[in-house]
Structure 1
C-alpha cells in the first residue's frame, strides 16, 4: 500500500482527502497544516509521496519544497492545489515538485498520480503542461546566456533523456525501460519543462551544453 502525507491548511480538505483515499490502495500516514509541521511529519513517517498545497499561511508549499531539498529529503511531492497560475507551476517544478494537479481531479486521477510518483514517475495535468510548453516555445533560446536556468532531473528523467538523445521515439523508450507510453510522454514533457526546451532536439542541445549526458 502506498503511504502518503497530506499537507493543507484546511482541516476539511485534509479530512476529505483522507476519507477518499481510505477506499483505495493509498494510506494517509500523516497530516500537516503548514510547511514547518510537514517537515516534522515527513521525517517521522517517511511516506512514499507527499500531497502538498501551495497557498498556506506562514510556511507555504514553495517554502516546504525548498526546505526538503536543503535537507536532502528526496520524497516525491505531488502539488495538489486550486491554483493553475503559470508562475506558481514553474516555481513548484523548479523547487522540486514531481507532479502538479488541480483539486478538481477525480479520485481515480489522484490515486493514479500518487502511484505514478511512488514508482519514480512524474505527472502534470495535461492542460497545464500544454500551456507551459507553449510559453517556453515562445521564450528565449534554450542554449546561451539568455536561457532559463536548468532544473534538476530525476534518475528516471535522465534515463529517458539519454534515449531521446540517441534518437529513440516514445514507443521505443517505453519498450526499453518497460514503461507505459503515456508515462514516457509525461517524462518527456517534464524534461522539456525542467530544461526550458522548446522540443526534443533543443532539450538534447541544452543537455549537452549543460553536461547532463556525460
Structure 2
C-alpha cells in the first residue's frame, strides 16, 4: 500500500471510528492496522480467519470491519453474513487482492458496504473507512458500475425494463428524491450530491431522510442496496 498524505476529513473523525482488520496474512494485517492507527483510527481488534472474525467482532462490536475475502477454508463472504446477522449496525468494507466481478457481487450480496482492491493507496483507504463508517457505499473506481449493471440485468430479466413492481414504494419517490437516490447509490457524499444537483447540503440530507422514511430503511447502506436491487440507479 502506498504511503501518501492523509486526506481531508471525510464523514466522521478517525478517533471516533472503531475498526477491526481481518486478513490471513499477518504482515499485511499488522501493516494495515498500524497504518490506520497512525492516522487516528481506533483499531480494536484483528483476526486471521473467518471463524475468529465472527467471534471477535461479536465481542468488540467495531463500527467498521475491514476484511479480505480469501480467508482459507471459510471464505470471507460467510463471515460477512454471520457478522451482520449479529451486528446489523456494523459496516463491512472488503479489501481484497481480487477485483473479479463475481467476488464483488458475492460480497455485496452478503451485505458488504463496499469493496476496495489492495492496490488502493493509504489515502484512498482512510477515506473509504471514514465514508463506510458514515454509511456510504464505497467501491474502487469501476467496480460500482459492474455491480449496478449486474443487478439491473438480474432484476429486469434481460428485458431492458426497470424491474420495479407496481406496488414498490420506490414509485412514490419524487423526481428529486430519485435523483438523490441514484447518486447515493453511486457512493457520493451529501456534499458531492449537493454540488452535482446545485442544492444545499441541508436539502440533500432532507431528501435522503424522506427517502429512507418512505422506503422503511434505516441507513444509506440499506438505501444503496435497495436502489441496486430495484434497478433505480439508472441515469434518466
Same topology, TM > 0.5: yes
- 3-state secondary structure, aligned to 1:22: helix
| Counterpart pick for 1:57 among 60, 72, 75 | 72
Equivalent position to 2:138, from 119, 123, 131: 123
Q: Is the 8 A contact 2:62 2:90 kept in 1?
A: yes
Matches within 5 A, 1:55-134: 55-134=70-149
Instruction: List alignment gaps of at least 5 residues for structure 2.
Output: 1-14, 181-192, 207-219
The higher relative CO (CA closer than 8 Å, separation ≥ 6) is in 2
- Residue 78 (structure 1) shift: 0.2
Match of 2:55 in 1: 40
Is the contact between residue 55 and residue 61 of structure 1 (CA under 8 Å) also seen in structure 2?
yes
Q: What does residue 193 of structure 1 align with? A: 228
Write the distance in 1 (CA, Å) between the matches of 2:200 and 2:108: 23
Alpha-carbon shift at residue 25 of structure 1 (Å): 2.0
Q: Deviations over 1:16-75 (max 9, x none)?
A: 101211220212110101111011111121111000100111222101012123335431
Q: Which whole-Å deviations, capped at 9, do the CAs of 1:126-161 have from their partners, x for residues lacking one?
A: 211233444556x356379999x99xxxxxxx99x9
Aligned residues: 186
SS of 2:95 mapped into structure 1: strand
CA distance in 2, matches of 1:20, 1:37: 22
- Quote the Cα distance in structure 2 between the aligned partners of 1:174 and 1:168: 14
**TM-score of the pair, normalised by structure 2:** 0.65
Deviates more, 1:92-101 or 1:34-43: 34-43
Please tell me whether residue 176 in structure 1 is matched to residue 203 in structure 2. yes
Gaps of 5+ in 1: 151-157, 180-185, 202-214
Please, what TM-score do these two structures have when normalized by structure 1? 0.71
Taking the aligned partners of 1:191 and 1:200, their CA distance within structure 2 comes to: 16
Query: Partners in 2 of 1:163 and 1:77 — Cα distance?
Result: 30
Are the counterparts in 2 of residues 142 and 198 from structure 1 also a CA contact under 8 Å? no
RMSD value, Cα: 3.6
Structure 1 residues 81-136: Cα deviation after superposition (integer angstroms, max 9, x where no partner): 00011111011101100010001111111011111111121111121123344455
- 1:19 alignment counterpart: 34
Contact 1:136 1:198 in 2 (8 A): no
CA distances 1:142-198 after superposition (whole Å, capped 9, x unpaired): 379999x99xxxxxxx99x9465745454248542449xxxxxx9887655343556
SS at match of 2:39: coil
